[in-house]
A and B are shown apart, each in its own frame.
Chain A
């Protein structure tokens, strides 16, 4: 996968680029808006990580607006310094697909970039999600594992749906909070863990092999084979 990182802070950029290369991505880096825009227009990327504050007169939002103006729908993750809450809304309005405030954990960034890059692949609308012997029917809203029906609460259903749509990917707690509950703040108590553990009780406990795995310091992953 090819990723473009547009970030002027040397330390952050170096850290992100190194981390992404370590997991096997091909990474280009631009340290200002002009170069970033040039690369985004001339090359083809699976996702762009774009800092909001960039030197040289062209800031992140301008870059993003220009990219979108060229009918380029490459997934863009906006990085922004800790600041106004409204920033997120502005970034998403300008055409951003996801938003992450600094400081961030690399695991969080990676999980989001992977999710974005896969979304960019343009999945066709599905009516049924299948992972190993777990089946989730989006139309009848039924869940079966190894042919056995599992009863889920509506929110548990959406949690499982989210995990299954990102199967094989790390999904962080904030991603779940945003994607399943539409909450954009950090609850002090780890409410997500409790919900996931309840889901595990129903989806994994009665069966020999677990599907929902905890990824240390990052989040969860739903996956057929334990790694």
Chain B
């Protein structure tokens, strides 16, 4: 981490209310904690629902039964008075198969009149109030849920149900949920560890690649898991980016090497000529001649610079703004027409074979220059009496322009290097040129989503320029 990055990191931390404990500064740990929390929350929601749908249901059923009883008994009271009510309660108790019903009718002094509770329990004071209390019944202590009603004439009625079964169920459920909770906690921990491990291993791969590259090993790439998941997609994107960076770096390195080697020669020559003239020229014409030669040398150097800048500019892709629809046939006609005269002078037959209608998409000026460079090369290396053919055809993706000559061609060994900046084959050593022509053509081809292929034409040399006419190329 550079000093700059470290500072930025600290600045960011300053905005946190509390400095996170060390473990939570790891994204992996944070993700796994989140995972565990999510799992726990899900389990809790599930438990609540389970509780509500079992214990809760029983509660609601008990309450409904008590209410129904109360309604029934109040009707009896209305029609039969106290004796009717006592009779009904006794009837009910006798018919209660489950032995869970609880009734107690008490007189104004709280003495038992009817029912199955020995005495009025303590603390039951409110009319219409719900109570849950332990009771003593038939020698057994159990749990009851009761409701109190005050009757006219100072009588009090207690209606309830024995809820021992529900209490047992609750205990059972609590125990089960406790175990389930423990299980969930265990699973969450294991899951969190797995998530963290997965996260960690993927991030580590990317981080390892990045630091290897930072350390100067530019061949390193992020390994892919082969699953094609999001991490793989990220890794692939990173790798594509690294490839692009590597290509650009190669380009820069190549250019600086080339400048060092290839521009030094003409600069040295110009300098030598000037110095020689300054020291040895005796007459004014001699001096003039030397100066003029030096100017020509310098012009060559600036032409090379211009070509280099242009290639760099094309490779940077900044000329895409000049893209538009163009008529390739017209463009080729123009180039061939321009070079026809030169070819004729060399007794070289320059011919164009292209469909009348050949639309293209791109930068007219650049394609013009690229084709001109290919034709220029071909005419330059064509032996007298031979033919240079320019053939263009439409392809499914765009257009293909082939320039073929019948010259000496390029040896196989040199062909792959022919598009390198400043590369000049042995055959080209004594011809004028900067060795940048094919580099420019290749840069133009790549800008247009196409390619430049160099082939052996048996005999001769064929350059195939493929251009894409897709707008997003």
Contacts and interface: CB of A to CB of B under 8 A. Distances in A.
Contact of A103 (B292, B302, B322): B302
Given A181-B334, A194-B342, A86 B322 contact: yes
Contacts of A194: 341-342, 345
A155 B337 contact: yes
A183 B370 CA distance: 12
A84 B311 CA distance: 10
Interface in B362-415: 365, 368-369, 372-373, 376, 379-380
A188 B321 contact: no
B313 A189 contact: no
A83 interface: yes
Q: Main secondary structure on chain A at its contact with chain B?
A: loop
Contacts of A86: 313, 318-319, 321-322
A1 interface: no
A83 B309 contact: yes
Closest 6 CB pairs of A and B: A194-B341, A185-B369, A194-B342, A195-B341, A191-B342, A103-B302
Interface string A86-118: 100100000000000101010000000000000
A84 B342 contact: no
B266 to A, nearest CB: 14
Contact of A191 (B319, B338, B368, B373): B338
User: Which one of B338, B339, B342 has the highest number of Cβ atoms from chain A below 10 Å of its Cβ?
Assistant: B338
Interface of B: 292, 295, 298-299, 302-303, 305-306, 309-310, 313, 318-319, 321-322, 334, 337-339, 341-342, 345, 365, 368-369, 372-373, 376, 379-380, 432-434, 437
Interface of A: 82-86, 89, 101, 103, 105, 155, 181-191, 194-195, 198, 217
Contacts of B365: 85, 184-185
B319 A85 contact: yes
Contacts of A105: 295, 299
A89 B324 CA distance: 15
Contacts of B305: 82
B416 to A, nearest CB: 23
A82 B302 contact: yes
Nearest to B432: A188
B341 A84 contact: no
A86 B312 CA distance: 13
Contacts of B339: 189, 191
Given A183-B372, A184-B365, A186-B306, 7 more contacts: A103-B302, A183-B368, A185-B368, A186-B303, A188-B373, A188-B380, A191-B341
A177 B437 CA distance: 19
A194 B313 CA distance: 31
Contact of A82 (B306, B318, B334, B437): B306
Contacts of B322: 86, 89
Contacts of A101: 306
A84 B380 contact: no
Contacts of A89: 322
Nearest to A89: B322
5 contacts: A83-B309, A103-B299, A105-B299, A187-B372, A195-B341
B376 to A, nearest CB: 5
A181 B345 CA distance: 20
Contact of B313 (A84, A183, A191): A84
A85 B292 CA distance: 28
Contacts of A103: 298-299, 302
B433 A188 contact: yes
Contacts of A185: 310, 365, 368-369, 372
